Amino acid sequence: MNDSSQRLSEWGAAAGIILGSGLNPIVPEQPAEVVSYAEFSEIPEPSCPGHAGRFALCQIEGVKIIFAQGRVHLYEGHNANAVTAIVRTLGKAGITNLILTNAAGSANPQFAPGTWMMINDHLNLTGTTPLLGGPNFIDMSSVYSPRLRDIFGNAAKKAAVQLHEGIYAGLLGPQYETPAEVRMIQKLGADAIGMSTVLEAIQARALGMNVAAFSCLTNFAAGISPTPLSHDEVLETGKSAAGDFGRLLKAALPGI
């Protein structure tokens, strides 16, 4: 274990939280310590706007957590092993509870932009997996921990945060989906569409972590709304919705 890994491990965090696009405002302004991804040779440098590329060691409601501010994606040219390096790094640091967040398009007309969806299952439409290379037959019957989902569901009521629950479809990207693709994904049962999270969840389950995941619904997917999609809109909506998730975390973390 190198010095940087040891600093993460010695923090003794109860949970790790990987942040999606535009969600950095969730992190307290003055972390106890900051560790750059650059200090870990296995973690690629994020190139997508809104991904800071660092671990922030923080306390919320007296609970120690590690925020991973940003991630890398398949569409940046990395393979599945590289995009899940952050999960393995957190696992080596002793993290057993992993909270994943992302910015996603809503494929459910009832789930309005600016709200949050707790993921209860996913569709891996990326065409790959971080478990390639061997007979890694990991059970995926319950990827997203029922216990953590109960904790967050109750916390949402306590904090008066609107929290949908549904299925997330993870695609390769980087282009947004066509209206025809969105209709196909809707027929497959997805409520939200994004370009991350599913591979991290698979890797986390392979490591025995308890996983909870949340989509910040930043826009309606193509064909549901006539408005053209843009990453600027994703970042702006993520920033405005970050306050709701911050309240949700404060209410939920003591139970974790």
Nearest to 31 by CA among 17, 42, 44: 17
Q: From the candidates 196, 200, 251, 252, which is the catalytic residue?
A: 196
Catalytic status, residue 78: no
Looking up tokens 């019957």, which residue turns up? Answer: 141
Instruction: Using DSSP, state whether 253 is helix, strand or coil.
Output: helix
- Judge whether 215 and 169 are in contact, CB under 8 Å: no
Out of 52, 184, 225, 231, the active site residue is: 231
C-alpha to C-alpha distance for 111 and 131, rounded to whole angstroms: 32
Catalytic residue among 4, 24, 56, 73: 73
- Residue 146's φ and ψ, nearest 5 degrees, are -60, -35
Query: Among residues 108, 219, 221, 222, which one is catalytic?
Result: 219
CA 225, CA 84: separation in Å to the nearest integer? 32
Q: Is 73 a catalytic residue?
A: yes
β-partners of residue 119 are 166
Residue of 4, 56, 76, 80 with catalytic role = 76
Helices (DSSP H) in 127-225: which residue ranges? 146-159, 179-188, 198-206
The question of whether 231 is a catalytic residue gets the answer yes
Known catalytic residue at 141: no
| Cβ neighbours for 60, distance < 8 A, ≥ 6 positions apart | 28, 249, 250, 253
> Of the listed 4, 21, 102, 215, which one is catalytic?
21
Q: Is 122 a catalytic residue?
A: no
102 is catalytic: no
If you write DSSP's letter for every residue of 11-47 in order, what string do you get? H--SEEEEE-TT-GGGS-SS-SEEEEGGG-TTSPPP-
CB atoms within 10 A of CB 33: 13
Buried b vs exposed e over 110-129: b needs ≥16 C-beta within 10 Å?
A: ebebebbbbbbbbbbbbebb
Catalytic (active site) residue 75: yes
Task: Give me the catalytic one of 75, 78, 81, 120.
Answer: 75
Q: Is 51 a catalytic residue?
A: yes
Catalytic residue among 85, 103, 118, 221: 103
Tell me which residues are annotated as active site.
21, 51, 73, 75-76, 103, 195-196, 219, 231
